Structure 1
Amino acid sequence: MVAPALDDVDRVLLAGLSADARQTNNALAAKAGIAPSTCLGRIRALRESGVVRGFHADIDPSLAGRPLQAMIAVRMHGHARGRLEVFMRQLAGLPGVLNVFLLGGGHDFFVHVAAAGTDGLNAFVIEHLSSNPDVALTETNLIFQHARATRWT
């Protein structure tokens, strides 16, 4: 997929959406200095080109019953290299998984998870990672604090 050429208006729209995707089209158009109908067309084009992948709720895992967050580093066995993308999609679909990152370097994945407690985190690692014959190593790091970037700039 080829990245579309973005102009200053597109960048204002992306910054506005990343700060508050629920704002009205009229408010977003005013920030970009364009007509509301033009704004709708621009946002539609950004979605169709894949620049805007979706609109999501930012849920606080702690307030939603999963106060323990961890980043789990995963290294795969060499024989599993052809299945990395499939494994990544499987992980992304599991309960409690917030993000999955395919990496270059010493580890193959970082898996950002939220669990109700240490027992749930331990069960996740054992059931979904350590018991998988393709997984060579896991390393779990607890997250004490997390700040989400609020803007695309």
Structure 2
Amino acid sequence: MTTLDRIDYALLRLLRKNARLPNKDLAGKVGIAQSTALERVRKLREDKVLLGYHAEIAPQAIGIGLQAMVSVRLAKHSRALVDGFHAHLLALPEVLACYHVAGADDFLVHVGVRNSDHLRNFTLTAFTEREEVAHIETRLIFEFQRNSELPPWPIADAD
């Protein structure tokens, strides 16, 4: 595991807020040379600390009029069933994110659909027709905002 210092953390904090920030600005805001910033960001990608860069897209611009969180409980648990269901979720274009969780439910699935009819048809097809699914519960999302902040550095050990 890569050990991050305060400069790495400052770079990550800036990139989290704006991944398109030019290297010159990144270096200036952190107070390091441009070559140092470039090398540090390269190393963060190489060490798999930075996993990618993503565009935040307005849901309405791509036809998403309704978002929901679907809780899914599986009937049986095995590595093959869990992995297979996870792969099924990631293959569905309506699935915006999925979380394999502990607790009463096994998955929380964030979906984006056109409208309530689309949501109904999608949940019936994507979940209830699968024999490994025992129960689903759907909650509408009224508002979604991503937090661009990171936890404070350094994160103290919990022991």
Give the TM interval when normalised to the shorter protein.
Answer: over 0.9
Partner of residue 154, structure 2: none
Aligned to 1:87: 85
Are 1:16 and 1:28, in contact at CA under 8 Å, matched by a contact in 2? yes
Distance 1:86 1:48, change over 3 A: farther
Structure 1 runs, 4 residues or longer, greater than 3 Å off: 79-82
- CA deviations 1:87-137 (Å, max 9, x no partner) are 223312311211100000110000000100011111111111110111111
Choose the corresponding residue for 1:24, options 22, 34, 41: 22
For normalisation by structure 1, the TM-score amounts to 0.92
CA deviations on 1:70-93 (whole Å, 9 max, x unpaired) are 000001112445431332233123
Q: Give the aligned residue type for 1:91.
A: L
Alignment of 1:104-143 (within 5 A): 104-143=102-141
Q: In structure 2, what is the equivalent of residue 39 of structure 1?
A: 37
User: Which residue identity does 1:59 align to in structure 2?
Assistant: I
1:61 paired with 2:55, answer no
Q: Residue 9 of structure 1 aligns with which residue?
A: 7
- Three-state SS of the structure 2 residue aligned to 1:63 is helix
Separation in 1, partners of 2:51, 2:30:
20
Partner of 1:100: 98
- Consecutive unaligned residues of structure 1, counting only runs of 5 or more, are none
Aligned with 1:75 (options 73, 76, 95): 73
**Unpaired runs of 5+ in structure 2?**
152-159
> Which letter maps to 2:25?
A
Aligned-pair identity (%): 40
Aligned residue pairs total 151
TM-score where L is the length of structure 2: 0.89
The CA RMSD over aligned residues, in Å, is: 1.4
